[in-house]
Copies of this chain bind each other. A is one copy, B any other.
Amino acid sequence: MNLERNARLKVVLIDTRNPLNIGAAARAMSNFGFFELRLVSPYDVAFREAVSAVGAADVVKSAAVYPDVASAVRDCSLVVGATGLGHRQMQHPLHRLEKAGRLIRRHLESANAALLFGSEKFGLSNSDVAHCHWLAHIPTRPDHDSMNLAQAVAVCLYELIRHPSAARRLPEPAEAATGEEVQRFTQLLEDLLQVSGYTDYDLAKNGSDKTHRLVRRLHLRARDASVWTGMLRQILWKIRNP
C-alpha cells in the first residue's frame, strides 16, 4: 500500500444528506489507506458528532468543509466524478472503473487528484460534473446501478489500491508435505487397505499407483501429514490388535 501516493487523492463528498454515510465512507477510506476527506456543503453540519463508524474518527475529524466544488478541488490537476450510467447523455468522457483506476493511479504518482461523489439521492449534478475531467463508472447492473454511497467509495478505493500482480506476492503458503511424508502416509494406507480386506484396488497390479495418485490429490500439508499418519498408524494397530 503506497500511502505517499494515496495521500494525493482527495475524496470529495458533495451534498451528503446522512452523516452516517460520511462515517461509513471515512471508514472505507481508512481501511484502504486514504485519509483526506473533503465535504462540500454537507446537509448536517454536526456530522462530526453523528459519526459512529468503526475506525472512521481520525478521517472525519480532519475532514475539511468547502462551500462549493471549485474550492474543494482547487489544488487537484485531475478531477474525476464517480457516477452511474445516468450521465452518459452529458457527452462527458466516461471510463469503466477498471480503466479509471489505472488513470487515476498514474496521475497520483506525481500530482493531486480529486474523486467526487454526489448526494445519496441525486448523485452528481450537472454543475458538479462540469468540474470533472471525466467520469468513472462502477460496472453495476444497468437495471440497478444506484449504489450505496459508502459502498461506492469502498469499491472505487479498492480499485485504486488493487494490485494486479498481488497474487504473486502472497504470504507464504503453509509448508506442503514432503514426498517422504506423503509416501509414509500412502504406505500406511495401503497396509490398512490390505489388513481390512479392501479389494477395489488390486495393490499387486496397478492399485498401488491408484493409491499414490489418490493421496497426492490431497495436497497434504507437512503439519497435517504427520497427524494423518499418526491416525492411520493407530487404526492399523487397532486392527492388528483387536
Contacts and interface: CB of A to CB of B under 8 A. Distances in A.
A139 B97 CA distance: 18
Interface centre among A96, A140, A151, A170 (most CB of B within 10 A): A151
A141 B1 contact: yes
A242 interface: no
A167 interface: yes
A161 B148 contact: no
A75 to B, nearest CB: 22
Given A24-B151, A93-B174, A30 B144 contact: yes
Contact of A93 (B54, B141, B173): B173
A95 interface: yes
A96 to B, nearest CB: 5
Contact of A99 (B139, B155, B166): B166
A174 B96 contact: no
A240 B229 CA distance: 98
Interface residues of A, number: 50
Contacts of A159: 158, 162
Interface string A76-99: 000000000000100111111111
A139 B162 contact: yes
Nearest to A147: B31
Contacts of A161: 139
A30 to B, nearest CB: 5
Contact of A98 (B88, B97, B145, B163): B163
Pairs A-B, 7 closest by C-beta atoms: A99-B167, A151-B154, A31-B140, A33-B141, A98-B166, A155-B158, A96-B166
29 contacts: A1-B139, A24-B151, A27-B147, A27-B148, A30-B141, A32-B141, A33-B141, A53-B148, A54-B146, A55-B146, A88-B171, A91-B223, A93-B173, A94-B170, A95-B167, A96-B170, A97-B158, A98-B162, A99-B167, A99-B170, A102-B167, A139-B161, A147-B154, A148-B154, A151-B151, A154-B154, A155-B155, A155-B158, A158-B159
Given A24-B148, A33-B141, A98-B167, 13 more contacts: A27-B147, A31-B141, A32-B141, A54-B146, A97-B158, A98-B163, A99-B166, A99-B170, A139-B163, A151-B151, A154-B154, A155-B155, A164-B164
